[in-house]
Structure 1
Amino acid sequence: MLGYVTLGVKDMDAAKAFYGELLAGLGAKVLFDMERIAMIGTSMDEPMVAVCVPYDGEPAHPGNGGMAAIKAGTKEKVDELYHRAIELGASCDGEPGQRIPDMFYGAYVRDPDGNKLAFFVFG
C-alpha cells in the first residue's frame, strides 16, 4: 500500500550518496532523479525513499513524530544498516535491540539532515 516516503534535505548530492550507499545492501539504488527530487529503491513497483529539496523553497527540517521505517528482513541486517548509517554520518537515536519481546527488533538513527529512520524486523 505504501508507495514512497519523502524526506526533505538540504543537499541533494549528499542525500543521494547517503541513501544510495546505506540502502545498497538491500538492493536499492537511485531509480529516478529530477534534480529537486530523487527516488531510491529496488523497483518503481516497490516502496521507495524519496529525497527532495522542499518545493516551497523553505529550509528542509524533520517533522516532529515523523519517521521512515525500513524493513531489514533479519536482526543481522538491522545491525548492519544501523552501523552503516552511523559510518555514513547519521547519529544514533536508539541502538539495535529487541523492543517488543519476540516481536519487534529495531534500531533508530537520524540522517545528516535530522530525519529519523528506523530499521526493523518483526519476529
Structure 2
Amino acid sequence: MIGYVTLGVSDMAKAKAFYTDLLGDQGVKVLLDMGRIAFIGKNMSSPMLAVCVPYNEQPNHPGNGNMVAIPAGSKESVDALYKKAIELGATCDGEPGQRIPDQFYGAYVKDPDGNKLAFFVFG
C-alpha cells in the first residue's frame, strides 16, 4: 500500500548515514541517490524511506502528528533499534515498553532533524 515515505532533512549526508546505520542490519541501503533526495530500503519494489532537502529550498520542519513506524520483528529488536538510534544522535520520545498489554510493544525517537520514528512489534 505504501511505496515510500519522505522526510525533510537539513543535511543529506548525515541523514543517509543515520538511516543506513540504524537499519543496515535489516538489509537496508541507499537504493537511489538523486542528490536532493535519496531512497533508502531493501529494494525498489518494497516500501522505502526517502530523505530529502525540501524542494522549495526552505528549512525542513518535522510535522506535528507525523511519524514513520518501522516494524522491528521482536521486543528485543525494538530495544536494539531504540538504543542504536539514540547512539546515532536521535533523542528519546518514549522509551521501549509495552503500550497495549499483549498487543503492542514500541519505542519512539526523533531523528537528528526532529522527525518522529516508532519501532514496534504487534503481539
Displacement of 1:10: 0.2
The question of 1:51 aligning with 2:21 is answered no
Q: Secondary structure at the match of 2:118?
A: strand
- The residue aligned with 1:23 is 23
Residues 42-121 of structure 1 aligned to structure 2 (within 5 Å): 42-121=42-121
CA RMSD of aligned residues (A): 0.5
Q: Distance in 1 between matches of 2:27 and 2:105?
A: 21
Q: Distance in 2 between matches of 1:9 and 1:24?
A: 19
Runs of 4+ in 1 over 6 A off after TM superposition: none
- The residue aligned with 1:10 is 10
The one-letter amino acid paired with 1:89 is G
Structure 1 residues not aligned, in runs of 5+:
none
| TM-score (normalised: structure 1) | 0.98
Displacement of 1:26: 1.1
Structure 2 residues not aligned, in runs of 5+:
none
The one-letter amino acid paired with 2:52 is C
Number of residue-to-residue matches in the alignment:
123
Q: Distance in 1 between matches of 2:31 and 2:22?
A: 15
